[in-house]
Amino acid sequence: ISTHDVDLAYSWADYVFFMVDGEVIGEGTPDEAFQDDELLRQAHLKRPMTFDIYKEIERRGLAHGNRQPKTVPEIVDSLKPPELMWVEVPPETREGDILNLGVLHGEYALHCPYEAVNARVLHIHENNKAIVELTRHGIKAGGILIYDMDKFDPSDFEGYMEKEEIDIVGAMGKKSKLLAEDYSICVDIATGVIDRTILMALCGKRCMILTNGGMIPHSMQRINEYIERSGIALNVRVLNEN
C-alpha cells in the first residue's frame, strides 16, 4: 500500500520504501528505515509516535527485552516488571546511583518479615523526584542475649554459647573484658557494643553481650528503645538472670 501514515506503516509493514516525487529514495525494515534521520528529512516525514515513546522508555531504563514494539499494547508489555516508584532524592543524585532505602517490615515487606531495600535511580525529574527500581533482600532478624559476668561460670558459659549458637560476642566494661581475656573468650566487639550488636542482629546474627551490674538494665533499655522506634522485633533477653 501507499500511505503517508507513518504509524500505520510502522505497525503493519514488514518492509518499507520511501518515495519523493515518484522516486524511491530509501528502503528497509521499519526498524531500520525509521531510525534514519536523513531519510525521514528528505521524505518530509516524522518518526512513528510509538517509536519515539519506546525510545524514551528505553532511555529512562524502564524497558526490558530487545524487540522494538510497534503498537501501544506492545509498548505496555515492554515495560519492566520489577517494582518502580517515585522517591525524593538528594540534589547530587545521578541516574544509575544506588540508594539505600533502609529496612521495610510488616505490610511493606512483600516476601519475608524484614527486607533491606535498595533503589537504582532510573530517571531524575524536576524537584528532586526520581523513578527508581527497587531491589529487596530478605533479612532474618537475629537476637541479642546478655550474659551477666557477675555470675560467670566457665562451664555454664560454654553451654550457653553452644546451645544458643552464638555468632558474635561483645564485651562491655573492664570486668567483662578482663574475664573474657582470662578465659580465652573471643570478643568480636569491644567498643560501641550495643549499637554494633544491634546491627549484627539485623543481619541475622545471634549475638551475646558480656556485661555486669548496672550495665545490664542499661543495655536492655537501649535495645528495647531501638525495637520500639524501628518496629523490628529482635529477640533480646538476659541469659543467667537467676
Check if the beta carbon of residue 45 is closer than 8 Å to that of residue 4.
Answer: yes
Q: Is the pLDDT of residue 65 over 90?
A: no
Choose the weakest-confidence range: 66-80, 157-171, 207-221. 66-80
Q: How does pLDDT run across 78-117, given as a tens digit for each residue? A: 776 667 888 889 889 999 999 888 777 667 677 766 677 8
The neighbour count for residue 215, using CB atoms within 10 Å, is: 20
Number of domains in the chain: 3
All three cell numbers of 225, joined, read 528503645
DSSP conformation class of 234: -
Domain limit, last residue, from 139, 162, 177: 139
Query: Largest alpha-carbon pair distance within the chain?
Result: 100
Pair (230, 150) in one structural domain: yes
Tell me: the pLDDT tens digits for 169-220?
999 999 999 999 999 999 999 999 999 999 888 877 889 999 998 899 999 9
Closest by Cα among 114, 173, 125 to 149: 173
* Rounded distance between C-alpha atoms, residue 114 and residue 111, angstroms: 8
Cell numbers given for 207: 549475638
Record the pTM.
0.48
Indicate whether 36 and 96 sit together in one domain: no
- Domain, as residue range, for 232: 143-238
How far is the first Cα of the chain from the last one, in angstroms, to the nearest whole number? 92
